[in-house]
Amino acid sequence: MAQLFPLPLIIIIPFLLSLTSSLQFKEAPKFYNSPNCLNNDQTIHISMTLDATYLRGSMAAILSILHHSTCPDNLRFHFISVTSATTTRHLNHTIATSFPYLTYYMYSLNDGNVAGLISTSIRSSLDCPLNYARNYLAALLPERVKRVVYLDNDVVLVDDIGKLAATDLGEDAVLAAPEYCNANFRTYFTPSFWANPGLSNTFHGRKACYFNTGVMVIDLERWRNGDFTTKLTEWMELQKRMRIYELGSLPPFLLVFAGKIASVDHRWNQHGLGGDNFRGLCRDLHPGPVSLLHWSGKGKPWARLDAGHPCPLDSLWAPYDLLQTPFLFDH
Ligand X SMILES: *[C@@H]1O[C@H](CO)[C@@H](O)[C@H](O)[C@H]1NC(C)=O
Footprint of ligand X (CB under 6 A): 89, 92, 96, 106
Beta carbon nearer to ligand X, 142 or 312: 142
Residue 15 or 105: the one with the smaller Cβ distance to ligand X is 105
Report yes or no: 256 and 235 within 8 Å, Cβ to Cβ.
yes
**Residue 153 has what DSSP assignment?**
S
| Least separation in angstroms between CB 98 and ligand X | 12
Shortest reach from residue 89's CB to ligand X, in Å: 6
Question: Given the complex with ligand X, which of 86 and 184 has the nearer CB atom?
Answer: 86
In angstroms, what is the minimal distance from the CB of 107 to ligand X?
9
Shortest separation between residue 92's beta carbon and ligand X, angstroms: 4
Residue 102 or 122 with smaller CB distance to ligand X: 102
| 3-state DSSP percent of the chain in helix, strand and coil, to 5 | 45, 15, 40
Which is closer to ligand X, CB of 33 or CB of 92? 92
40-61 residues labelled b (16+ CB within 10 A) or e (exposed): eeebbbbbbbbbeebbbbbbbb
Least Å distance, CB 56 to ligand X, is: 19
Q: Pick between residue 30 and residue 89 the one whose CB is nearest to ligand X.
A: 89
How many Å apart are CA 289 and CA 267, to the nearest integer? 5
Written in H, E and C, the secondary structure of 266-296 is HHHCECCCCECCCCCCCCCCCCCCCCEEECC
Tell me the Cα Rg of the chain: 21
Nearer to ligand X, 77 or 211 (CB): 77
Provide CB contacts within 8 A for 261, sequence distance 6+.
Answer: 173, 174, 175, 176, 177, 179, 211
CB of 330 to ligand X, least distance (A): 30
236 CB burial (10 A radius; 0-12, 13-18, 19+): buried
Rounded to a whole number of angstroms, the minimum distance from the CB of residue 81 to ligand X is: 10
